[in-house]
Amino acid sequence: MSAPAQRRPVVLLRPVPGTSTIHELWAGTKLIAALGISVLLTFYPGWVPIALVAALVLTAAWTARIPRTALPTIPRWLWILLAIGGITAALGGGSPDIHIGSAAIGLGGLLKFLRISALSIVLLGIGGMVSWTTNVADVAPAVATLGRPLRWLRIPVVEWAAALGLALRAFPMLIGEFRVLYAARRLRPRPELPTRRARRRWWRVELIDMLTAAITVALRRADEMGDAIAARGGTGQISAVPSRPGWADAWAALIVAAVVAAAISSELLLGSTV
C-alpha cells in the first residue's frame, strides 16, 4: 500500500513488536550495558573496541529480530555532509600510504574520518537497541532497583524513578501537543515583512510565543498530573510486579563484560591504534 519512496521516520522509545531473548532481558541490564559500552568507547575509541561493539550490537539486533526497516531513512543532507567530510579527509592524506604503481596515496585522513563515523554509528546503535527492545514502562522500576544502594547515601532515588516514570508517561502526550502547536502555526499566514529588522523582530516574537505556548502546555500537564498524584495520596509504588534481573541477565552481563574486557586489553596491549 505504501509508496516505496516514503521516508521512514525515526521511531524511538517503542519496542519493535514481538518478543525475543533481548526483549525479555531486564531493563536494568540493558541500561547498564549501554552505559558501560558508551563509557568504554569514550575512553577507548580504537578500531578493535568499535568492531567488537559493532559485532555485539549486530548480534543483539539479529537475536531481537530487529528488521532493517526499523532504521530511519537517512536524509540527503546528511549524505552530502558525510561526502564532504569524507572527501576533504581523504585529500588530507597522511600515513599509512598505499602504493598504486608509482603514486602513493595517504589513507590516514580517510581512516580517521571513517573511525569517527563508525564510532557515532555504533553509539547510536546501542541507544537504538535499548530503545527498540525495552518497554518504557520497565525503565523507571529498573532504575529504582538499580539505584537502591544509593539510598544508603540518602539520595532520593525513589523520587528520581517516579519522575522518570512520569516523564516517560507524559512524553508521548506532550509530543502530541507540540505537534498540534506546530500544525496550528503552519495554518497561520506568514506576514510579508519588508525590512530585515522587521523580520528579525517577527522571529523573536514568534520564538518567545512558541516557547511560552510549549511551556504553558507542559505546565498545564504538570498541574493536572500534580492533581492526579494528590488524588492518589502522593507517590508510593510505581510498578505492580517486582523489577529484578533473572538468569538470562547474568549471561548477558557476562557477555558484555567479556566484550568490554577484550576491548580494553586489546587497546592496552596494542597501544594507541592507527
Partner 1 sequence: MIAALSAATAIIAVVVPFAGALSLLGPVPMGLLAYRCRFRVLIAATIAGGLIAFLVAGMGGMMTVAQCAYIGGMIGVVKRLRRGTPTIVVVGLCAGLVAGVLSVAALAVLSRLRTLFFDAITANVNGLARFLSHVPYLDSAADPLKNGFATLLTYWPWLIGGASVPAVLLVTLIAWWALSHVLNRLSGTGELQKLDIPADAGPIAPLPVRLGDVTFRYPNTDHDALGPVSMTVEPGEHIAVTGVNGSGKTTLMLVLAGQPPTSGTIERAGAVGLGKVGGTAVVMQHPESQVLGSRVADDVVWGLPPGQSVDVDTLLEEVGLDGLAERDTGGLSGGELQRLAVAAALARDPSLLIADEVTSMVDQSGRDALRQLLAGLRERHRMALVHITHYNNEADSAERVVNLTGGGVADNTEMVELAAAPAASSPGHARTSATVLEVDGVCHEYASGTPWVTTALRDVSFVVHEGDGLLIHGGNGSGKSTLAWIMAGLTVPTAGSCLLDGRPASDQVGAVALSFQAARLQLMRGQVDHDVASAAGFSPRDTDRVAAALANVGLDASLASRRIEQLSGGQMRRVVLAGLLARSPRALILDEPLAGVDAASQRGLLRLLEDLRRRTGLTVIVISHDFAGLEDLCPRTLELDSGMVAPASAAAGGAA
Q: Binders of partner 1 among 228-257, rule CB under 8 A?
A: 228-241
* 55 binds partner 1 per the rule CB under 8 A: no
Of the pair 169, 199, the CB lying nearest partner 1 is at: 169
* 9 binds partner 1 per the rule CB under 8 A: yes
| Of the residues 34, 53, 61, 256, which one makes contact with partner 1 according to CB under 8 A | 34
* Residue 160, C-beta contacts closer than 8 angstroms, at least 6 positions apart: 143, 147
Specify the residue for cell string 517577527. Answer: 202
- Strands 103-106 and 97-100: what pairing? antiparallel
* 213 binds partner 1 per the rule CB under 8 A: yes
Of the pair 2, 102, the CB lying nearest partner 1 is at: 2
> What 8-state DSSP symbol labels residue 166?
H
Of the pair 58, 170, the CB lying nearest partner 1 is at: 170
Contacts with partner 1: how many residues (CB under 8 A)?
123
Q: Cα–Cα distance between 85 and 73 in angstroms, integer?
A: 20
Q: How far is the CB of 59 from partner 1 (least distance, A)?
A: 19
If one counts every other C-beta atom within 10 angstroms of the C-beta of residue 161, the result is: 24
Contacts of the segment 218-222: beta carbons below 8 A, 24+ positions apart: 218/174, 221/170, 221/173, 221/174, 221/177
**Stretch in the footprint of partner 1 (CB under 8 A) among 52-60, 97-105, 154-162, 245-253:** 154-162
Q: Cα–Cα distance between 255 and 138 in angstroms, integer?
A: 22
| Of the residues 21, 36, 48, 115, which one makes contact with partner 1 according to CB under 8 A | 115
Q: How far is the CB of 253 from partner 1 (least distance, A)?
A: 19
* 165 binds partner 1 per the rule CB under 8 A: yes
Bridge partners (DSSP) of residue 99 are 104
* 54 binds partner 1 per the rule CB under 8 A: no
Question: Is 73 in contact with 7 (CB distance < 8 Å)?
Answer: yes
**Stretch in the footprint of partner 1 (CB under 8 A) among 51-59, 97-105, 167-175, 245-253:** 167-175
| Of the residues 22, 61, 164, 263, which one makes contact with partner 1 according to CB under 8 A | 164
- Region of 125 (left: φ > 0; alpha: ψ -120 to 50; beta: rest) is alpha
Residue type at 215 in one-letter notation = I
- Contacts (CB under 8 A) with partner 1, residues 65-94: 66-67, 69-70, 72, 85, 87-94
> What 8-state DSSP symbol labels residue 99?
E
Q: DSSP labels for 18-49?
A: S--HHHHS-HHHHHHHHHHHHHHHHH---HHH
| Of the residues 32, 56, 57, 136, which one makes contact with partner 1 according to CB under 8 A | 136
**Stretch in the footprint of partner 1 (CB under 8 A) among 95-103, 112-120, 193-201, 248-256:** 112-120
**Stretch in the footprint of partner 1 (CB under 8 A) among 54-62, 109-117, 247-255, 256-264:** 109-117
Tell me the HSE value of 82 on the side-chain side, using a 13 A CA sphere.
13
- Contacts (CB under 8 A) with partner 1, residues 170-189: 170-175, 177-178, 180-181, 183-189
* 47 binds partner 1 per the rule CB under 8 A: no
